[in-house]
Chains A and B, each alone.
Chain A
């Protein structure tokens, strides 16, 4: 429902997994295989020396330390910003606007999401089949979509729950004069388990 970039989530998990896998296998190889171990012992100081030489060859005027340290810190900062943006991008997608008509010569009509949210929630709150309901509006691919989450009492048929929400949606359609796509989420949960069953046909 929200606009979380799921591909990015999986990419981050995959990259972290591959990194750990490579490091782990390298550690395992150095520990378990004598040839890899001796190869590592031979090569590692050389690599370290190359890096040290590079640092010595790039002094920053005045300080005598290498400017590569600034570059390293800058690269780290860029990646930190990228990860912060990645975290902040999770779970967005709410919208306030339910309907927005193209402007006419008399003006433009905008229907706020809270209109539908309050109408539906009010209509659903009196139903004995439901323990609770929550309505929110999301923008999915440029379309406003209503999300109606209801928790049913124990034993209520999910098809009945769907039908009773859909009935209210059709009433809303009649009121608005247009149909807004909707997602109905029928859930159980803690409140349902404690609320007990009612007598239902």
Chain B
């Protein structure tokens, strides 16, 4: 396997969730249900007393379903169908993780959005001449929103902040590329 295709595979797998947690939970539920049904079958075969309900009672319960009030069937049906629909949608979803990739000749790199945001915050704060604690950056799949709270009484050079942020983003060369948006608070903060 060439390293290019190997790195492409690694990047794809590291930026998407395997959905293992959900799959394991569902498998455990399935195991419990099957184990219960298996035990009831064996008890029925041996003629022993059932754990909770004999198979015949369970089947009779399903047959008697229409005897319940209509609204319980409708409500229960809607809840179960919704859970099923959410699972079906999850099975086909991208399950993307909040990460970006950066591939070079030597290695494949995956970077948490959190790290990108914190680096952008530092550079934005320096360009705006404020403390890093007064910048907040949100990085999503394709955009970075830089929120700057200026010190009261002073103005922030928007062009300088945008320039600093864009320069950093260009230097990182992330996949997929991120566009920046700078928001400067109209209300300053004392000591920012």
Contacts and interface: CB of A to CB of B under 8 A. Distances in A.
B114 interface: yes
Given A44-B63, A76-B37, A83-B30, A69 B44 contact: yes
Contacts of A25: 77, 81
Interface in A135-152: 140-143, 145, 152
Contacts, number: 271
A91 B20 contact: yes
A52 to B, nearest CB: 8
B122 A182 contact: no
Interface stretch (B85-93, B145-153, B154-162, B182-190): B85-93
Nearest to B172: A159
A115 interface: no
B37 A6 contact: no
Interface of B is mostly: helix
Contact of A141 (B1, B39, B72, B111): B1
Nearest to A26: B77
A80 interface: yes
B39 to A, nearest CB: 8
Interface of A: 1-2, 4, 6, 8-14, 16-32, 37, 40-41, 44-45, 47-48, 51-52, 60, 63, 65-66, 69-70, 72-73, 76-77, 79-80, 83-84, 86-87, 90-91, 140-143, 145, 152, 154-159, 161-162, 165-166, 169-170, 179, 181-189, 192, 197
Interface of B: 1, 3, 6-7, 9-10, 13-14, 16, 18-20, 22-24, 26-31, 34-35, 37-39, 41-42, 44-47, 55-56, 59-60, 62-63, 65-66, 68, 70-74, 76-92, 102, 104, 106-112, 114-116, 118-119, 121-122, 132, 168, 171-174
